[in-house]
Structure 1
Amino acid sequence: MTIDVIVCETCRQPDTGQEAGPEAGWTGAMFAALLEGVLASAGAEDVRVGTMRCLMSCRRPCAVHIRSPGRMGYVLGDLTPERSAVEALVGYLLAYGATYNGVVAYRDWPDGVKGRFVARIPAPDMQPLGK
């Protein structure tokens, strides 16, 4: 099943507060490009990467939204355009893809994604957990 990762391309640089979209070559564009490369190396053909002008997680840049039909979706923030951060996200995406509902056991989370979750978004057709 396809997994979409939408990367915010207009995150602000935390050290300067200046907007840095793809033309400035910072978080969103750099993160998305690095993510595509790491996914290709991992053979993760079922993961699609796209960008969006703003995910409205401005206090926690760089932000990404993970979604897949019938699965729980997630927004993560505080990601950096560094290989270690991208590899942690890819590790999480591989675990996410192995689930039927998008809920990855905490013990299976790579260290690089722990503490970076902003929101959990149920799929439109998903029953509330625990019901």
Structure 2
Amino acid sequence: MKTWITICDTCKREGWETGDMAQTDGESLAVLVEAAATGLEHVKTRRVSCLMGCKGACNVSIQANGKLNYTLGAFEPNAEAASGIVAYAMAHSESETGQVPYREWPQAIKGHFVTRHPPLPADE
């Protein structure tokens, strides 16, 4: 089963306007996450414009059908964050329920969880 990393590409961290503004912080993180996930069979990426977590910019969601789904945020748009996000998504894809034991979490994602959503019911 595929796990999807959805990356907000409109996120702007505090102070963004003092930089070169060539791309948003979300776009910068998306480029890094996409590169880190290249070639992975069970982890895919996509971009969306706004996950509505603006206060803790650089937000992603980790999702798969029939599994627990997570929103994470407040990342620095850097390679360490991107590799941690992808490593967690790989562990999520390998988990039957989507729950990954804390001891297996990459250090880069600890402290970045915002929400956990139960899977949608398979039927009414």
- Select which of 34, 37, 46 maps to 1:36: 34
Which of 92, 95, 104 is 1:96 aligned to?
92
- Aligned length in residues: 120
Query: 1:118, CA displacement in angstroms?
Result: 0.3
CA-based RMSD:
1.8
- The answer for the alignment partner of 1:62 in structure 2 is 58
Q: Secondary structure at the match of 1:90?
A: helix
| Aligned pairs (5 A) from 1:78-117 | 78-117=74-113
Q: Which residue of 2 aligns with 1:3?
A: 3
2:14 maps to 14
> Which 4+ stretches in 1 moved above 6 angstroms?
none
Greater RCO structure (CA 8 Å; 6+ sep): 2
Alpha-carbon deviation of 1:114?
0.6
Structure 1 unaligned segments of length 5 or more: list them.
127-131
How far, CA to CA, are the matches of 1:27 and 1:72 in structure 2?
27
Q: Residue type matched to 1:36 in 2?
A: E
Match of 1:122 in 2: 118
TM-score (norm 2): 0.88
Aligned to 2:45: 49
In 1, the alpha carbon distance for the partners of 2:37 and 2:103 equals: 22
State the identity %: 34
Contact 1:26–1:81 under 8 Å retained in 2: no
**CA deviation string 1:56-78 (max 9, x = no partner):** 11111100011000000000001
Return the TM-score normalized by structure 1: 0.83
CA offset at residue 12 of structure 1? 1.9
